[in-house]
Amino acid sequence: MVTRNDVAKLAGTSPAVVSYVINNGPRPVSESARQRVLAAVAELGYRPNAVARSLRARRSWTIGVIASDSAGGTSPFFGQFTRACEEVAWQRGYSVLLGNSAEDPARAESYLRSFLERQVDGLVLMRVPVAAERAEEMRRVPVVTIDHQAPPFFSRLAVDDEEGGYQATRHLLEHGHRRIGYVAGPLDVTPVELRAAGWRRALREAGAEPGPLAEGALSLEGGYDVAYRLLSSGPRPTALFASIDDQAIGAMRAAADLGLRVPQDVAVAGFDGAREAAYTVPGLTTISQPIEAIARHATETLVGAIESDAGDPLTKIFSATLVTRGSCGCPEPRLRQG
């Protein structure tokens, strides 16, 4: 087995210098010495003992990411978010343990317990509620939560869900719609309720009665089922705002199956800014949230807390942007010019 001493001998350095290069510190190493060590590592095929390294540093160089996706890992938001987290973690020298709680509190609790037992250095939780007693146990590691109410000792990042719901509904009102339904996910999910609050606020300001609201799964199928119910019973809404883009896409299919044209008979708007929204026919108008920017900021915040072992928890709210396409009645942009 190749040892650190073997690498030091070939590189013409001390074993301590080899350690500084491999661990990126704690002492600086000249660039020429660093390159000699790296060349020796490559030539000898040296692999540091990760377990021993973790014990010495009291760090596992792993973070846990638990995201909630009722679509079984197929949601565009879920994929974009977790990929961006993993990319930042990899650049900073951390591995990622990933769990999908699938909107199941018991499953989320199982992942939390498992990751903590594996001595992760920190956690990113996307739409995962944490019981008060479990939160107290988690004080020993930094935690960043996304889109959920959190204890004051967790950092929290979120998009301005209420303002996004307001923007989407206001835009549909500007197209002349007065009966706007809400294709909702479960209202006990914080972002869904906040988007509903924005929907209600826009209707109230316009003097319009709240349209019908129905809850369903946060998925294509859930959106289809809810929209089918809303559109097949009277009085029928002339526009629908969905709590996520997947639901909005499902709603467009429900309209088609009922013989309704989008946007002539019913306008549709969603929330998330998923890439797929540009490829529906017509293109889906949506509130676009900076998914990858949120994920990158969350992971950088977590790694910073891990490595500094200090700092107060932070709260940061990101703005969302209205992206108009044909589903609301706006001109349909071309994906490719010429």
pLDDT tens profile 230-244 = 999 878 999 999 999
User: What pLDDT is stored for residue 68 in this prediction?
Assistant: 79
pLDDT higher than 80, residue 5: yes
Asked whether residue 254 falls in the same domain as residue 302, the answer is no
| 156 three-state secondary structure | strand
Count of C-beta atoms within a 10 Å radius of residue 308:
9
Answer yes or no: is pLDDT of 165 > 80: yes
Output the pLDDT for position 136: 81
> Quick one: 186 and 284 in the same domain?
yes
pLDDT at 275 over 80: yes
Say if 56 falls within a structural domain. no
For residue 134, the domain's CATH number is 3.40.50.2300
Q: Is residue 338 part of a domain?
A: no
In this prediction the pTM is 0.77
Q: What is the pLDDT of residue 94?
A: 87
Residue 230 belongs to some domain of the structure: yes
At residue 4, the pLDDT reads 83
Q: How many domains does the chain have?
A: 3
For residue 39, is pLDDT > 60?
yes
Task: Kindly tell me if the per-residue pLDDT of 9 is higher than 80.
Answer: yes
Confidence of residue 55 (pLDDT cuts 50, 70, 90): very low
pLDDT digits (tens, 9 = 90+) for 95-124: 899 988 887 888 888 998 899 888 899 999
| Predicted confidence (pLDDT) at residue 51 exceeds the cutoff of 50 | no
- Cα 98 from Cα 141, distance rounded (Å): 17
Whether residue 206 sits in one domain with residue 117: no
